[in-house]
């Protein structure tokens, strides 16, 4: 891989993994290779008991500009529509992995999160954004609909009229407006999203990682289950947690009136 080729850079900060989309020449636009690298890194993080949280960001001034339109235009001119199915599969696997792994993923958003970049940010569990960050579901500008779960996510995260506005008009929306609707968790000064996200990730990573992972899965499953199904899933997960190491430490810490120490 050449130094200028789009890539994902990884850095460890104790129990936190930082994943950085490094494609600054194209505002960190996604390529199939970048999507695959992110998916692989996230799956490995899910299997790593020494990790408790992940921060996802873009290198430089922007989070992610979505797909590379030049390469998409070249594909349209030279390949059949089945090639697009295969290309979208790469970002779909990333979207499924973000929601499916048992580790908390925090998006640190500076600058633009557009198209699939917006979808990816929405797919993270928590979002920290700079005051001047701009989110754009930009698909209809080029005559297409969202991918990467963008329409699924905004339909669940936002009031219907606001979701419609973002999807139908492709107009940018500021971090503050999304924060007012609970989609962005924390708004910080420009340039501060990474530090805030890493600090929050460190705090989360010291918690009961397996219990947090089970809770994440329960929250993801809830919209597709009726109450009876969900009560059963909660019961199973609670018993597994309670009789595990984290449950033992949490209960002992409470009875001994001290802070729990779940790791190390």
pLDDT for position 69:
80
CB-based contact 143:93 (threshold 8 Å): no
pLDDT of residue 137: 95
What are 215-255's pLDDT values in tens digits?
999 999 999 999 999 999 999 999 999 999 999 999 999 99
C-alpha to C-alpha distance for 50 and 264, rounded to whole angstroms? 9
Per-residue HEC secondary structure of 6-29 comes to: CEEEEEEECCEEEEEEECHHHCCC
Q: What is the mean pLDDT of residues 44-69?
A: 95
DSSP string, 43-80: HHHHH-TT--EEEEEESTT-SB--B-HHHHHHHHHHS-
Count CB atoms within 10 A of the CB of residue 251. 12
- Residue ranges and CATH numbers for the domains of the chain are 7-205 (3.90.226.10), 209-255 (1.10.12)
Q: How far apart are CA 101 and CA 48, in angstroms?
A: 11
> In what helix (H) or strand (E) does residue 36 lie, and over which residues does it extend?
helix 32-47
Per-residue pLDDT reduced to its tens digit, 131-165 = 999 999 999 999 999 999 999 999 999 999 999 99
pTM of the model: 0.95
Specify the pLDDT at position 83.
87
Distance, in Å, from the CA atom of 16 to the CA atom of 161, rounded to the nearest integer, reads 37
Q: Residue 221, Cα to own-chain centre: how many angstroms?
A: 17
């Amino acid at each position: 891989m050449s130094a200028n080729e789009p890539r994902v850079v990884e850095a460890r900060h104790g129990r936190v993994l930082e994943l950085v989309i490094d494609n600054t020449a194209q505002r960190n636009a996604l390529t199939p290779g970048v999507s695959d690298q992110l998916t692989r890194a996230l799956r490995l993080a899910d299997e790593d008991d020494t990790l408790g949280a992940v921060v996802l960001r873009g290198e430089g001034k922007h989070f992610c500009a979505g797909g590379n339109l030049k390469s998409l235009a070249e594909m349209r001119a030279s390949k059949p529509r089945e090639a697009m199915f295969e290309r979208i599969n790469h970002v779909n696997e990333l979207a499924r992995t973000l929601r499916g792994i048992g580790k908390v993923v925090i998006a640190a958003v500076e600058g633009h999160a557009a198209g699939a970049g917006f979808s990816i940010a929405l797919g993270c569990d928590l979002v920290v954004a700079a005051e001047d960050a701009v989110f754009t579901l930009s698909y209809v500008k080029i005559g297409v609909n969202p991918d990467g779960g963008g329409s699924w996510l905004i339909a669940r995260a936002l009031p219907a009229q606001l979701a419609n506005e973002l999807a139908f008009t492709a107009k940018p929306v500021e971090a503050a407006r999304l924060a007012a609707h609970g989609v962005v968790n924390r708004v910080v000064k420009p340039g501060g999203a990474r530090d805030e996200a890493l600090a929050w990730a460190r705090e989360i990573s010291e918690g009961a990682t397996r219990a947090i992972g089970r809770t994440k899965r329960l929250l993801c499953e809830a919209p597709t289950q009726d109450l009876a199904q969900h009560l059963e899933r909660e019961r199973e997960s609670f018993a597994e947690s309670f009789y595990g190491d984290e449950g033992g430490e949490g209960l002992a810490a409470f009875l001994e009136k001290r802070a729990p120490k779940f790791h190390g």
